Amino acid sequence: MSSSTCYHCGDPCERTIIHFDDKDFCCNGCKTVYEIFQSSGLEEYYDIEAAAGATPREIANKFDFLDNSDVVQKLLDFDEDGVQVVQFHIPHMHCSSCIWVLENLNKLHGSIKTSQVDFPKRKVRVTFENEKLNLKELAILLARIGYEPSIALEDYSKAKKKVDRKLIYKLGVAGFSFGNVMLLSFPEYFEVQEFWLDQYKPFFRWLMFAFSLPVVFYASQDYFKAAFKGLRSKLLNIDVPIALGILTLFLRSTADIIFDFGSGFFDSLTGLVFFLLVGRFFQQKTYAHLSFERDYKSYFPIGVTRLRNNTTEENIEIYKIKQGDRLLVRNQEIIPVDSILISGNAQIDYSFVTGESESVPKASGDKLYAGGKQLGGLLEVEALKSVSQSYLTQLWSNSAFSKNKASEFQTLTDAIGKRFTLAVLTIAIAATSFWLWYEPSKALNVFTAVLIIACPCAIALAAPFTLGNLLRIFGRNGFYLKDTNTIERLAKVDTLVFDKTGTLTSNSGNTIVYEGLELTDDEASLLKNTLRASNHPLSRELYGILEDQEIMTLDDFVEKMGKGVQGTFAGHSIKVGSANFVGNRNAHVQETSVHISSDEKYRGRFVFKSKYREGLVSLFKQLVKNFSLVILSGDNDGEREKLGKMFPFQLPMFFNQKPKDKLEFIQNVQRHSNVLMVGDGLNDAGALAQSNVGVAVSEDVNVFSPACDAILDAKKLTFLDRFLQLSKQSINIIKLSFLLSLCYNVIGLYFAVTGQLMPVIAAILMPLSSISIVVFTTVATNYISTKLNTPNT
Amino acid sequence: MSVIYVLLSISVCVAIIFFAAFIFTVKSGQYDDSYTPSVRMLFEDELVKKTSENNNQNKSQTE
């Protein structure tokens, strides 16, 4: 064994080392990519970032559906005069080397004209001449150099998405007006009675008025709309006092300049809207390469191979599958519809759909459910339903998928807004009635002044800046949230529900333990060679961990589907497979194991135990102090005992839960608590959608995760308790900022109620309070999140 | 007509031109991908060097 790593992909070269050109490669695939790059003058790939590559995967027939011109047409962005443009999503893209090589694709093939990478979206846009290179060949070319494009049903059905840039426009308008109005109002702050100024006063003022028009009627539209919506549904949200403030500011200022009472509050008005929009913009952090809205469509392929008249193969779109169609499913392909197996050795991996960790063998005539992945050879199946009616896809018609969690949740700001509005209106009315009695001419002045100064700019900024900053900090630490609303919901969670397979256990590799009589050297050698010939996933895995043996040609090799394999060499035979096949009657059925017998004598078994992620025990010990925990698994209860030993405290566990059971379970728990669901696959999709916060754990965040509110990098699962704690603390920060901004309001109200509010005071107070809130929240969130940098104890 | 009107109109016009330029750049999608150009910028030199080297090689071969 050597400790050298592959020059191309950086993986340790464990089993075989290929020396080529003074470099080590872990497999032929990696070497081939190196050769391709070298012959095209792209060696620089390795200079920019070391070992950035990926081992190209088996792609035989995978892109056959691109032969279908209907599919191709829908994927292409542009197609005219032999020039085509396509945009591919490439999950492997991760560093500057990737960008470099993907932007130099024209060196690989003469027909490729240009290629441009959009790194945040992990997309590459390729312009090519389709005379010598069609889309399928392009996809294969990319796959061959380790950048396999992922083409899913999702890309296919999408209407060309419009990017929403309205907020940026509004921010631009508000910023533009704010700057100009500030400039124009500056002279009047200091020299009111000067001759020169008096002469141009009306011009300056009307110019400010003109600048404020787009701000009031365009940039602050959203606040008026939200306030109107709130009032109509009899809710006093935070937008009501804001809208009231903007409106009063505008009307009072206009009146002021018409009757020459003063210069108006245009500076405060534009500044207020500008700051509010900056807050909104800051809150709106999006992860372009992650999708929180995925359903089965991103998991399914676009096209399948249909057998026409049982002889000719044709590629059809997945939506066109009809009941009774004969379809071909190849190794590693997803079964697109519920169907019946006609022929072929089926070994179906349902882990993504149901959470069962073990793949199941199926015999001809058995029913196959959509969403299972075939491991092994070619299958011929007959469709029983169409895609949208299949068992798995029906889950998405549940109402849990159509509700909007964010809009149903009352945020802290809105809760405060209600009391705030009532308080402001009370003060305004009280002050006005006093002045009506004392000096009626000033009453209207005071009334508007109160509404202006009480406009809760700072309160409205506290939550966006606190949560927006925390959202970014979480993102840097591998916890990607859909929006800031999710943090507020996280802070309220009191029950955590965990999926087992793929969430608590790691997807990559099992721990394999041998139990039984020790194998002799001859037996070990025979075992390894027998396994070498088998394609069963368990055999492959077992083969990988056994010691290297000399390769020999077996005298005889028999593979019995769903049972096991038998190999014979020099008069000795070995049987590897299920307990029954090997001849052991009293086996434990619950654990995944491979039994061995040599010359018909039972030797022992290899037990496959799923590997739990590191640090789980300490995480659960932390969590159980503050939350109630539940394990909800789609797998059988073979691991119940082990889990019970790992977590020696109150931990309810439920097994054999179908996707729909999980959804209903969450619904039940929600009657008396707020639930955080942590899951990973499509089988958790319903539970993730139903829960108050659904977190998808993913080992590679770019690849796939079901629809959820947050995506958590699997490596950071042990930080979950800290993320939850930080969310709670952020709510306290918001509350403190509310207090701070109330202080400013009280000072401002003093000026307003006593009838001496000058435009300059408002113009100072408004930005000052806003900026101090921004500074306070940013410093505070950064301070509390220093905890994320210390290692786990 | 006083010069202040002229000056102010000019300054407002200039401001509006810049504002229009901002809107235009946003609309054309220049700010959509803020990461890749920063990386791409650093490649350019190497690429040029590479191709010129290749050209030189080709030339020397043909000579």
Tokens matching residue A485: 């609303």
Question: What is the model's pLDDT at position A793?
Answer: 44
Contact A119 B33 (CB under 8 A): yes
Q: What is the ipTM of this complex?
A: 0.75
Q: Is the pLDDT of residue B47 over 70?
A: no
B41: contact with A, CB 8 A cutoff: no
Q: Among the CATH numbers 3.40.1260.10, 3.30.1490.110, 1.20.1510.10, 3.40.1110.10, which is that of A508-611?
A: 3.40.1110.10
Residue A779 confidence class, pLDDT cut points 50, 70, 90: very high
Distances (CA, A) of A183 to A188, A219, B14: 10, 20, 14
CA atoms within 13 A on the CB side of A707: 21
**Residue A521: which region, alpha, beta or left (left: phi > 0; alpha: psi -120 to 50)?**
alpha
Mean pLDDT for A555-580 is: 79
Contact A117 B36 (CB under 8 A): yes
Mean pLDDT for A110-139 is: 85
Residue A225 confidence class, pLDDT cut points 50, 70, 90: very high
Contact A118 B42 (CB under 8 A): no
If one compares A618 and A591, the residue with the highest pLDDT of the two is A618
Q: Is the whole model's pTM more than 0.90, yes or no?
A: no
Task: Enumerate the domain spans of chain B.
Answer: 1-32, 34-63
Question: What is the model's pLDDT at position A643?
Answer: 82
Residue A120 has its nearest CB partner, among B23, B29, B33, at: B33
B22: contact with A, CB 8 A cutoff: yes
Question: What is the model's pLDDT at position A307?
Answer: 81
B34: contact with A, CB 8 A cutoff: yes
Mean pLDDT for A327-340 is: 81
Contact A165 B27 (CB under 8 A): yes
Residue B63 confidence class, pLDDT cut points 50, 70, 90: very low
Q: Is the pLDDT of residue A274 over 90?
A: yes
Mean pLDDT for A579-596 is: 70
Mutate to test the interface with B, among A99, A206, A207 (most CBs of B within 10 A): A99
Q: What is the rounded distance in angstroms from the CA atom of residue A93 to the CA atom of residue A78?
A: 23
List of chain B residues whose C-beta atoms are within 8 Å of the C-beta of residue A103: 40, 43
Contact B5 A203 (CB under 8 A): yes
Q: How wide is the angle at C-alpha A320 spanned by C-alphas A314 and A322, nearest 5°?
A: 95
Per-residue model confidence as pLDDT tens digits over A594-608: 888 888 788 888 877
Mean pLDDT for A449-467 is: 85
* Min distance B61 CA to chain A CA atoms (Å): 17
Residue A354 confidence class, pLDDT cut points 50, 70, 90: low
B13: contact with A, CB 8 A cutoff: no
Side chain identity, residue A222: D
Question: What is the model's pLDDT at position A156?
Answer: 60
Contact B39 A119 (CB under 8 A): yes
B3: contact with A, CB 8 A cutoff: no
Question: What is the model's pLDDT at position A16?
Answer: 65
Question: What is the model's pLDDT at position A60?
Answer: 64
Residue B35 has its nearest CB partner, among A44, A120, A168, at: A120
List of chain B residues whose C-beta atoms are within 8 Å of the C-beta of residue A116: 36
Mean pLDDT for A474-503 is: 88
List of chain A residues whose C-beta atoms are within 8 Å of the C-beta of residue B58: none
Mean pLDDT for A82-92 is: 84
Neighbours of A160 (CB within 10 A): 5
Tokens matching residue B46: 């190497």
Question: Is A392 in contact with A353 (CB distance < 8 Å)?
Answer: yes
Q: Is the pLDDT of residue A628 over 50?
A: yes
Per-residue model confidence as pLDDT tens digits over A637-673: 777 888 888 887 778 888 888 888 888 899 898 888 8
Q: What is the rounded distance in angstroms from the CA atom of residue A708 to the CA atom of residue A695?
A: 6
**Chain B residue closest to A107 (CA)?**
B51
Residue A724 confidence class, pLDDT cut points 50, 70, 90: very high
* Min distance B10 CA to chain A CA atoms (Å): 13
Question: What is the model's pLDDT at position A360?
Answer: 77
Tokens matching residue A740: 């701070």
* Min distance B1 CA to chain A CA atoms (Å): 12
Question: What is the model's pLDDT at position B15?
Answer: 92
Q: Is the pLDDT of residue A157 over 60?
A: no
Task: Enumerate the domain spans of chain A.
Answer: 1-40, 64-151, 166-286+407-466+729-789, 300-333+338-384, 479-506+613-722, 508-611
Question: What is the model's pLDDT at position A730?
Answer: 92
Q: What is the rounded distance in angstroms from the CA atom of residue A133 to the CA atom of residue A363?
A: 41
Q: Is the pLDDT of residue A563 over 80?
A: no
B40: contact with A, CB 8 A cutoff: yes
Side chain identity, residue A485: N
Q: How many CB pairs under 8 A join A and B?
A: 57
Question: What is the model's pLDDT at position A230?
Answer: 85
If one compares A250 and A54, the residue with the highest pLDDT of the two is A250
B31: contact with A, CB 8 A cutoff: yes
Residue B39 has its nearest CB partner, among A44, A99, A179, at: A99
**Pick from A724, A723, A689: nearest CA to A706:** A689
Question: What is the model's pLDDT at position A155?
Answer: 63
Q: Is the pLDDT of residue A201 over 60?
A: yes
Question: What is the model's pLDDT at position A169?
Answer: 92
| Strands annotated E in A680-775 | 693-698, 710-713
List of chain A residues whose C-beta atoms are within 8 Å of the C-beta of residue B34: 120
Q: Is the pLDDT of residue A377 over 80?
A: no
Least confident of A184-188, A350-354, A520-524: A350-354
Q: Is the pLDDT of residue A216 over 90?
A: yes
Mean pLDDT for A53-68 is: 73
Q: Among the CATH numbers 2.40.40.20, 3.10.180.10, 2.70.150.10, 1.10.1040.10, which is that of A300-333+338-384?
A: 2.70.150.10
**Pick from A249, A238, A263: nearest CA to A215:** A249
Residue B61 confidence class, pLDDT cut points 50, 70, 90: very low
DSSP state of A216: I
Q: Is the pLDDT of residue A218 over 60?
A: yes
Phi, psi of A273 (to 5 degrees): -65, -40
Which own/partner contact pairs does A103-111 have at CB distance under 8 Å and 24+ positions apart? A103/B40, A103/B43, A104/A42, A104/B47, A105/A141, A105/A142, A107/A40, A107/A41, A107/A42, A108/A36, A108/A40, A108/A42, A108/A141, A108/A145, A109/A133, A109/A138, A109/A141
Question: What is the model's pLDDT at position B53?
Answer: 44
SS3 A592: strand
Question: What is the model's pLDDT at position B50?
Answer: 47
pLDDT averaged over chain A? 81
Question: What is the model's pLDDT at position A541?
Answer: 74
Q: What is the rounded distance in angstroms from the CA atom of residue A328 to the CA atom of residue A205?
A: 76
What is A64-151's CATH topology?
Alpha-Beta Plaits (3.30.70)
* Min distance B13 CA to chain A CA atoms (Å): 12
Mutate to test the interface with B, among A90, A118, A162, A206 (most CBs of B within 10 A): A118
What is A479-506+613-722's CATH topology?
Rossmann fold (3.40.50)
Residue A180 has its nearest CB partner, among B15, B32, B35, at: B15
Mean pLDDT for A605-621 is: 82
Per-residue model confidence as pLDDT tens digits over B23-36: 999 888 888 777 88
Contact B50 A165 (CB under 8 A): no
| Strands annotated E in A439-563 | 479-481, 495-498, 505-516, 556-560
* Min distance B23 CA to chain A CA atoms (Å): 7
Which string of DSSP letters, residue by residue, matches A251-266? Answer: HHHHHHHHTTS---SH
Q: What is the rounded distance in angstroms from the CA atom of residue A688 to the CA atom of residue A682?
A: 9
* Min distance A109 CA to chain B CA atoms (Å): 16
List of chain A residues whose C-beta atoms are within 8 Å of the C-beta of residue B4: 200, 203
Question: What is the model's pLDDT at position A723?
Answer: 92
Question: Is A391 in contact with A656 (CB distance < 8 Å)?
Answer: no
